[in-house]
Chain A
Amino acid sequence: MRFVKPLMFIGASLFGLALSSLSLGNEAHLKLAADADTGLVMARCAICHSVDYIQMNAPFLKRAGWEAEVKKMIKTYGAPVGDDDAAKIIDYLTRHYGVE
């Protein structure tokens, strides 16, 4: 059985390389709101999923909602995100994709 080389996705994401050649469909065209932390969010969140997951879940989560999502990604799914980066990602998501 051949897999869609998930490890290649990981490497590409962690080192900030273009996802386009490895992504399905037009994932590479997805654009998140641009600011200083966009790269961090792309690099961490896109290890396991395309960032349209962020876009479609907006705007209705408050900070606590985004915090719960980020913690679920880390605790349940094992996303390799340290405390400092998690705080930045939660801030970013609340800022651009949250309410209040």
Chain B
Amino acid sequence: MTTRRNVLQTVLGGWALTGGGLGSQLARAALPQGALDSAVMERLPGKQPLIKRSYRPPNFESPLSYFEDAITPNDRFFVRWHLMGIAEVDPREWRLSIGGDAASKPFELTLEQLKNDFDPVEVVAVCQCSGNRRGLSDPHVPGVEWGYGAMGNARWKGARLKDILARAGLSKETVEIAFDGADRPALDVTPDFIKSLPAWKALDENTIVAYEMNGEPLPHHNGYPARLVVPGWTATYWMKQVVSIQALSKPLSNFWMAGAYRVPKGKFAFADRFVSQENETTTPITEIVVNSIITSHTDGARVTRGQPLTLKGIAWDSGAGIRRVDVSRDGGRSWEAADLGTDLGRFSFRPWQTTLTPTETGPLVLMARAMNRQGSTQVSELIFNNPGYHNNVIQAVALTVV
């Protein structure tokens, strides 16, 4: 089987082995061989073919070609579940319970009430798995070995969570809001997937309980009939098939908060803190890091000398918005600004493109690097962490000019 590593070594010749930083970076950016071998393109019901990482629970990622448009179509949107007991929800029977020890007026909503009792709002936002690109970690770390496609961007429509919570009589002691979905573990002893947000983030005007995705009901595998949408934060908080929202006066203590989805303190510069869940050494993952990908070309693509090529891609961050995307054709020594496309909102993928003309035959390595409006940019060396989160290493694509 041809691996990315092989392709790059072939394309770059001895450079990958003997060259400087770029060569070693490129050679490292490969999935484990077992992940390459076990990946197949398969259709889940209602979906286009996606890259299968695991069947049960289903974890399927989008190939890069599906990010051609800034909005990811529902049938091309990645699928990620933690537990194998996935509910087939009957929308007439579905109920959303709102309560918790810090809520004096618990109540329930039907799907119709969720749609009709609150002002509908829309937000375009990137849903990105915390572990997106885990498979590119060096050294490799265990988990779902995602490539680049455990993410998508959609126009979400729903009710503001703060409007729903306003009816629940929250006490001043509320520190977190916890969310449970309808999925269940195979074994009763396995921790159910329940997550919490700090109260301030739950009450942010952009945090919604969404019942529409790109103008349609949510696909089953993306959380039908309703899911949490937490623009700017990684998808671990975007509870699918949400059935319970609990206001808590004490931090939620379970495996999924205390034992997973945590990053080492001090390694990443974040604005958003989740103070009630921090400990001495780690903190829950919060916002998405600034990132970009090239979508128009893949490794090994052949292009023609003297003919202009249009390099396209997308860039995103946690909501500051993308200020610029730069492209390098010389291994990162020099950079030129690409043109930014339509702005669909600060939480959205931002398309970009640039035209360039290869002047020499042989290998041509193209790189893209995004910067957000706060000046944060992508890294050239992986910031290694054991769970394999926040990989925003500058992507390089090796073309062959003929």
CA distance A56 to B182 in the complex (A): 27
Contact surface of B with A, Cβ cutoff 8 Å = 32-35, 37-40, 42, 44, 52-58, 84-90, 93-94, 135, 139-140, 142-145, 182, 184-191, 255, 259
Q: Are B34 and A25 in contact (CB under 8 A)?
A: no
Question: Counting CB contacts under 8 A, is A27 at the interface?
Answer: yes
Q: Are A80 and B87 in contact (CB under 8 A)?
A: no
Enumerate chain B residues within 8 angstroms of A78, measured Cβ to Cβ: 187-190
Enumerate chain A residues within 8 angstroms of B42, measured Cβ to Cβ: 25-26
Q: Are A1 and B90 in contact (CB under 8 A)?
A: yes
CA distance A47 to B185 in the complex (A): 10
Identity of the chain B residue whose Cβ is nearest the Cβ of A58 in the assembled complex: B34
8 Å CB interface, A22-76 against B: 23-27, 30, 47-50, 52-53, 55-61, 65, 69, 76
Known contacts A23-B56, A69-B142, A76-B255; A2 and B86 CB within 8 A of each other: no
Count chain A residues whose beta carbon lies closer than 8 angstroms to a beta carbon of B.
35
Q: Are B38 and A80 in contact (CB under 8 A)?
A: no
Enumerate chain A residues within 8 angstroms of B144, measured Cβ to Cβ: 53, 56
Enumerate chain B residues within 8 angstroms of A80, measured Cβ to Cβ: 187
- Shortest Cβ gap from B165 to chain A (Å): 24
Question: Counting CB contacts under 8 A, is A3 at the interface?
Answer: yes
Enumerate chain B residues within 8 angstroms of A30, measured Cβ to Cβ: 38, 55
Q: Are A9 and B84 in contact (CB under 8 A)?
A: yes
Q: Are B186 and A57 in contact (CB under 8 A)?
A: no
Q: Are B38 and A10 in contact (CB under 8 A)?
A: no
Which residue from B44, B54, B191 sits with its C-beta under 8 Å from A56? B54
A-B contact pairs, 14 of them (CB 8 A): A1-B93, A3-B184, A10-B187, A47-B186, A48-B84, A48-B190, A53-B54, A55-B34, A56-B39, A56-B54, A57-B34, A59-B33, A77-B191, A79-B187
Enumerate chain B residues within 8 angstroms of A4, measured Cβ to Cβ: 84-88
Q: Are A49 and B54 in contact (CB under 8 A)?
A: yes
Question: Counting CB contacts under 8 A, is A92 at the interface?
Answer: no
CA distance A50 to B37 in the complex (A): 15
CA distance A57 to B140 in the complex (A): 9
- Shortest Cβ gap from A83 to chain B (Å): 17
Q: Are B35 and A56 in contact (CB under 8 A)?
A: yes
Known contacts A3-B87, A49-B84; A97 and B34 CB within 8 A of each other: yes
CA distance A37 to B185 in the complex (A): 26
CA distance A6 to B38 in the complex (A): 24
CA distance A44 to B37 in the complex (A): 23
Known contacts A48-B185, A56-B38, A78-B190; A3 and B85 CB within 8 A of each other: yes
Enumerate chain A residues within 8 angstroms of B56, measured Cβ to Cβ: 9, 23-24, 27, 49-50
CA distance A97 to B145 in the complex (A): 15
Known contacts A6-B184, A76-B255, A77-B190; A27 and B55 CB within 8 A of each other: yes
